[in-house]
Chains A and B, each alone.
Chain A
Amino acid sequence: SAVISQKPSRDICQRGTSLTIQCQVDSQVTMMFWYRQQPGQSLTLIATANQGSEATYESGFVIDKFPISRPNLTFSTLTVSNLSPEDSSIYLCSVETSYEQYFGPGTRLTVT
């Protein structure tokens, strides 16, 4: 298994600003994933982040809006840029080990 922490756990941001979410894992992993969970909905993959390469974004998500960094095998950041109320969601990072994906506790973002 893997233990994942995220910072911040929640934030309230103003429209037009940005929020950077940090994800730290207690072991080295190749692939990290970023998901979004909009209120009352399921999880949607934003992008996959491999160390040393550009993140791979899913349809509907673009790098300008969701830039991702992956500087080493235990850490990643997701920035949500130019915030609008529609970005209010829970953002979760996850990692895979032995065919199991483990999730961080999530970052609850509210945009006012």
Chain B
Amino acid sequence: AQSVAQPEDQVNVAEGNPLTVKCTYSVSGNPYLFWYVQYPNRGLQFLLKYITGDNLVKGSYGFEAEFNKSQTSFHLKKPSALVSDSALYFCAVRGGYNKLIFGAGTRLAVHP
């Protein structure tokens, strides 16, 4: 069965420092992987996706993610965190019939 794990409930980072939000997945076949961000009282916003090709995927707001097939990981990264990046981040994998299977979410807190 397809699944996604986000091992950290919360990640704390100082503004200006690099950030990483971890995600590992379990799928049969080639994975389609996604990152979404949810700001308070707002819907989910698409950040980036990996379908095929380059293992390093660039997305919105300066975020990028690295697909690692051998480690079955798709970690979200940003070289320099902003306080405004503080939000809830979800990793997702595409399952059968195009449905998305979401991880539990990781709350990112960026401190000034």
A100 beta carbon closer than 8 Å to chain B: yes
- Tell me whether B46 and A31 are in contact (CB under 8 A): no
When distances are taken between beta carbons in the complex, the residues of chain A under 8 Å from B102 are: 42-44
Q: Closest residue to A9 on the B side, CB-wise?
A: B41
One of A41, A45, A56, A105 near B100 (C-beta < 8 A)? A45
Q: How far is the CB of A3 from chain B (nearest CB, A)?
A: 11
Main secondary structure of the interface of A (DSSP, over half): strand
CB pair A104–B100 under 8 Å, yes or no, is: no
Q: In the complex, which residue of chain B has the Cβ closest to the Cβ of A106?
A: B43
The smallest beta-carbon distance between A48 and chain B, in angstroms, is 6
A102 to B43, CA, bound (A): 9
- Please pick, from B49, B90, B97, the residue contacting A42 in the complex, using a CB distance under 8 A: B90
CB-CB under 8 A from A96, the residues of chain B are: 98
Which B residues are in CB contact (< 8 Å) with A45? 99-101
Which of A48, A92, A99, A108 contacts B44, CB < 8 Å?
A92
Q: Given that A42-B104, A43-B90 are contacting pairs, would A100 and B46 also be in contact in the complex, using a CB cutoff of 8 Å?
A: yes
Contacts A42-B103, A42-B104, A42-B105 given; indicate if A48 touches B97 (C-beta within 8 A): yes
- Taken together as a complex, chains A and B put the C-alpha atoms of A41 and B42 apart, in Å, by 15
B51 interface residue (CB < 8 Å to A): yes
Q: Is the CB of A101 within 8 A of B34?
A: yes
Chain B CB within 8 A of A75 CB:
no
Asked if A66 CB lies within 8 Å of chain B CBs, one says no
Contact B98 A31 (CB under 8 A): yes
From A43, which residue of chain B is reached at the shortest CB distance?
B102
Supply 13 A–B pairs (Cβ within 8 Å), ascending by A.
Answer: A1-B46, A31-B98, A33-B100, A42-B90, A42-B102, A43-B44, A43-B102, A94-B100, A99-B49, A99-B94, A100-B34, A103-B43, A108-B41
Which of B's residues lie within 8 Å of A, judged by CB? Answer: 32, 34, 36, 41-46, 49, 51, 90, 94, 97-105
Sample of 12 further A-B pairs with CB below 8 A, known A41-B104, A92-B44, A108-B41: A33-B100, A42-B103, A42-B105, A43-B90, A43-B100, A43-B102, A45-B101, A56-B97, A58-B99, A96-B98, A103-B36, A103-B43
